[in-house]
């Protein structure tokens, strides 16, 4: 390079560029990309974009430690009472919503979501008609809401919807944004029973279930209060991953519904049209018994649906199916062996059973 008169490779490159310093101008529609790269915040690198988004999420989250261990124990006993009432079928139909390793209990206001939607997609959620779910229990007002109001977390008369999510080890809730057309902000949640984590920006895949790395991993301690607003509530999804539920965990979510939130139309022919003020509704049977969790479920992925023949064969069948299938298989095998070895009335005299051959 010295022989050619250049002491710096950059000088040689500039001399070889037709437009000198204009060589950095993009071609074929690359102007937007370059301007984006040269902006105040360089977000062209995926890792930098991720870090920037994580900062935005974290800046719109507030976490407080308000409830003492003694207060947590008292509230957890009340949650156990809710679970017991749900298993006995003492709540209205739409108060309890069961899923594998996670049960939901709606109070005050309930809404359709997920597979319950007639049309899938954001914005399709609907509130149930008034009276379709049970009222918020008094202990939620006395033990939780009043303390949050006194601490300045929420204004008085803010909460009209309380949801209890009860997770077993390995339970999860997929990435979602709390419906903006249903709920006002902020979204307040209080955690109980064990420590866990709330993850933002994850993507779920199934068959078997897998979860991508989160944009932000937020530890959630027992008794802590998490307040979501702004970017964290509206611009990015949040979820609970299976691997973050290592022990039973419950969360109470406190929200306020928007006055213009859409509702399902009441069918006059259904039982929902009967005013609940006339008396306690008919006791409902639980949808299914509370599922017991495998203590090791949090440390391995859950298989929700089998898409390979070898996986289908490896599924553990219920005991009654194992007995019926094994007994029928043994009977079929014994019948086949006896039929093959049967030659006359004097053969196999020491066998406890005989299988006679009949011609059809």
Q: Which of 111, 128, 167, 342 is catalytic?
A: 111
User: pLDDT band at residue 357, thresholds of 50, 70 and 90?
Assistant: low
Tell me if 275 is assigned to some domain.
Answer: no
**pLDDT the model gives residue 243:** 95
Structure tokens that stand for 340 in this block: 């093959």
Tell me how many degrees the CA angle 29-35-39 measures, rounded to the nearest 5.
160
User: Which residue in 120, 101, 232 sits closest to 177, CA to CA?
Assistant: 232
Residue pair 241/212 in contact (Cβ under 8 Å)? The answer is: no
Tell me if 105 is assigned to some domain.
Answer: yes
Question: Is the pLDDT reported for residue 37 higher than 50?
Answer: no
For 218-239, the pLDDT digits (tens) are 999 999 999 999 999 999 999 9
Instruction: Please give the residue range of the domain that contains residue 122.
Output: 47-257
Question: Is the pLDDT reported for residue 150 higher than 50?
Answer: yes
User: pLDDT band at residue 161, thresholds of 50, 70 and 90?
Assistant: very high
For 64-91, the pLDDT digits (tens) are 999 999 999 999 999 999 999 999 999 9
Tell me if 336 is assigned to some domain.
Answer: no
Tell me if 191 is assigned to some domain.
Answer: yes
Question: Is the pLDDT reported for residue 139 higher than 90?
Answer: yes
Question: Is the pLDDT reported for residue 327 higher than 80?
Answer: no
For 232-286, the pLDDT digits (tens) are 999 999 999 999 999 999 999 999 999 999 998 765 444 443 333 334 444 444 4
Average pLDDT over residues 109-119: 77
For the chain, give the mean pLDDT: 76
Question: Is the pLDDT reported for residue 111 higher than 60?
Answer: yes
Residue pair 202/180 in contact (Cβ under 8 Å)? The answer is: no
Tell me if 298 is assigned to some domain.
Answer: no
Question: Is 111 tagged catalytic?
Answer: yes
Residue pair 165/104 in contact (Cβ under 8 Å)? The answer is: yes
Q: Determine which of 176-180, 186-190, 350-354 has the lowest per-residue pLDDT on average.
A: 350-354
Tell me if 317 is assigned to some domain.
Answer: no
Q: Where residue 250 sits, what CATH number does that domain have?
A: 2.60.120.590
Tell me if 7 is assigned to some domain.
Answer: no
Tell me if 238 is assigned to some domain.
Answer: yes
User: pLDDT band at residue 346, thresholds of 50, 70 and 90?
Assistant: very low
Domain count, the chain: 1
Residue pair 66/154 in contact (Cβ under 8 Å)? The answer is: no
In order, the DSSP letters of 165-221 are EEEPTT--EEEE---TTTB-S-EEEEEESS-EEEEES--EETTTTEEPPPSEEEEE-
Backbone angles phi, psi at 205, to 5 degrees: -130, 155
Q: In Å, how far are 20, 138, 242 from 282, measured between CA atoms?
A: 84, 22, 36
Average pLDDT over residues 14-23: 48
As a whole number of Å, the CA-based R_g of the chain is 31
Residue pair 140/189 in contact (Cβ under 8 Å)? The answer is: no
User: Which residue in 122, 126, 189 sits closest to 153, CA to CA?
Assistant: 189
pTM of full prediction above 0.75: no
User: pLDDT band at residue 108, thresholds of 50, 70 and 90?
Assistant: very high
């Amino acid at each position: 390079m010295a022989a050619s008169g250049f002491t710096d490779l950059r000088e040689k490159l500039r001399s070889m560029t037709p437009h000198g310093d204009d060589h950095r101008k993009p071609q074929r529609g690359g102007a937007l990309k370059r301007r984006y790269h040269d902006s105040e915040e360089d977000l062209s690198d995926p890792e930098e974009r991720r870090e920037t988004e994580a900062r935005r999420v974290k800046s719109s989250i507030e976490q407080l430690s308000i409830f003492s261990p003694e207060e947590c124990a008292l509230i957890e006993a009340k949650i156990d009472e809710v679970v017991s009432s749900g298993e006995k079928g003492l709540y209205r139909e739409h108060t309890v919503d069961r899923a594998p390793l996670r049960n939901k209990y709606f109070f005050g206001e309930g809404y359709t979501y997920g597979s319950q939607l007639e049309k899938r997609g954001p914005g399709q959620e609907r509130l149930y008609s008034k009276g379709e779910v049970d009222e918020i229990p008094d202990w939620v007002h006395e033990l939780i809401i009043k303390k949050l109001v006194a601490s300045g977390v929420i204004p008085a008369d803010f909460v009209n919807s309380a949801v209890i999510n009860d997770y077993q080890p390995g339970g999860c809730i997929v990435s979602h944004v709390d419906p903006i057309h249903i709920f006002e902000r902020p979204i307040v949640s209080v955690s109980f029973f064990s420590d866990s984590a709330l993850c933002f920006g994850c993507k779920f895949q199934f068959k078997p279930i897998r979860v991508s790395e989160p944009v932000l991993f937020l530890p959630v301690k027992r008794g802590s209060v998490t307040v979501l607003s702004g970017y964290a509530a509206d611009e990015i999804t949040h979820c609970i991953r299976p691997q973050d539920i290592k022990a039973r965990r419950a969360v109470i979510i406190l929200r306020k519904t928007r006055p213009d939130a859409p509702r399902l139309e009441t069918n006059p022919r259904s039982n929902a049209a009967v005013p609940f003020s006339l008396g306690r509704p008919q006791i409902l049977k639980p949808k299914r018994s509370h599922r017991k969790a495998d203590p090791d479920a949090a440390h391995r992925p859950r298989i929700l649906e089998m898409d390979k023949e070898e996986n289908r064969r490896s599924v553990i069948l219920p005991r009654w199916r194992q007995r019926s299938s094994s007994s029928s298989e043994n009977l079929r095998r014994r019948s086949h062996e006896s039929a093959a070895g049967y030659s006359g009335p004097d053969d196999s005299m020491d066998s406890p059973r005989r299988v006679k051959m009949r011609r059809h």
